[in-house]
């Protein structure tokens, strides 16, 4: 006997993510989901970003890693409250799911918060599949990873609104074709915002920070209207 089901496998996560989104909207908090393969420079970019936007933009961070609190220790120096998630407690998950964000957000004092940044687990595949209730998604790609990552991992690049091409200070030492990397990104996601950055030297971070500022201001404005 055939029984019709037609249920999305991730519907529980989607429901939780929608609840997170409503909750963050009520509090006027802009939520940014930062993803990349391991070591592209997410934490370094966030360290630099936080020191430049705090305390004007009140920020907090949820950072996911399979193990260690190294990233949380680095990010805490900015003064922003940081919650470290170690997914080995959840079976070594390769991504942060919506219920994990909901739990972590409870540990943060949300009063007066403008921006919540989620540094996802280093992985260019899985996190793209899981809605966490964020407002925007960005992917960091270091120039040492090659020009064609966007076409090899299209879901991630389709799902993100912006891409940071990081570690540009290394370009003199690499045979990396920036123009080609931009062409590939434009092919996978036409119109995607692309920022060339060096988290090491700070070069290119200005336009990235303006991008965040605009969106945080917009979200806060929406809450005041409501």
Partner 1 sequence: MHEMGIALQVIDIATAAIPPEMRGCRVERVNLRIGKLSAVVVDSLNFCLEIATRDTPLAEAVFSIEEIPVVAQCRECGHEWQVARAVFKCPECGSGNLEMISGRELDVVSIDIEEQFGSQAQNQ
Ligand X SMILES: Nc1nc2c(ncn2[C@@H]2O[C@H](COP(=O)(O)OP(=O)(O)OP(=O)(O)O)[C@@H](O)[C@H]2O)c(=O)[nH]1
- Cα separation, 109 vs 115, in Å, equals 12
Q: Which does 219 bind (CB under 5 to 8 A by kind): partner 1, ligand X, Mg ion, none?
A: none
CA distances from 192 to 59, 73, 91 (A): 25, 32, 34
Among 42, 137, 167, 189, binds partner 1 (CB under 8 A): 189
Q: Which does 169 bind (CB under 5 to 8 A by kind): Mg ion, ligand X, partner 1, none?
A: ligand X
Shortest Cβ 87–ligand X spacing (Å): 12
- Cα separation, 24 vs 60, in Å, equals 13
**DSSP secondary structure, 44-87, as one string:** HHHHHHHHHHTTTS-EEEEEEESS-SHHHHHHHTTT--EEEEEG
**Closest CB to partner 1 among residues 8, 225:** 8
Shortest Cβ 143–ligand X spacing (Å): 9
In the stretch 111-150, what mask flags binding to partner 1 with x, by CB under 8 A?
A: ------------x-xx-xx--------------------x
Q: Give the footprint of Mg ion on this chain (CB under 5 A).
A: 42-43, 71
């Amino acid at each position: 006997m055939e029984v019709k089901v037609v249920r999305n496998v991730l519907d529980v996560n989607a429901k939780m993510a929608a609840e997170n989104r409503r909750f963050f909207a009520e509090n006027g908090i802009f939520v940014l989901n930062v993803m990349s393969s391991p070591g592209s420079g997410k934490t370094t970019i966030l360290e630099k970003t936080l020191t430049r936007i705090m305390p004007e933009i009140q920020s907090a961070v949820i950072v996911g890693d399979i193990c260690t609190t190294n990233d949380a220790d680095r990010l805490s120096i900015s003064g922003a409250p940081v919650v470290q998630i170690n997914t080995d407690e959840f079976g070594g998950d390769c991504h942060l799911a919506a219920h994990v964000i909901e739990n972590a957000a409870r540990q943060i004092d949300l009063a007066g918060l403008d921006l919540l940044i989620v540094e996802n687990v280093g992985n260019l595949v899985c996190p793209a599949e899981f809605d966490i209730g964020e407002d925007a998604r960005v992917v960091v790609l270091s120039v040492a990873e090659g020009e064609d990552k966007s076409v090899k991992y299209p879901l991630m690049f389709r799902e993100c609104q912006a891409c940071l091409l990081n570690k540009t200070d290394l370009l003199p030492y690499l045979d990396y074709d920036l123009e080609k990397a931009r062409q590939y990104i434009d092919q996978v996601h036409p119109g995607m915002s692309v920022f060339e950055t060096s988290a090491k030297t700070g070069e290119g971070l200005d336009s990235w920070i303006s991008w965040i500022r605009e969106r945080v201001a917009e979200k806060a404005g929406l809450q005041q209207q409501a």
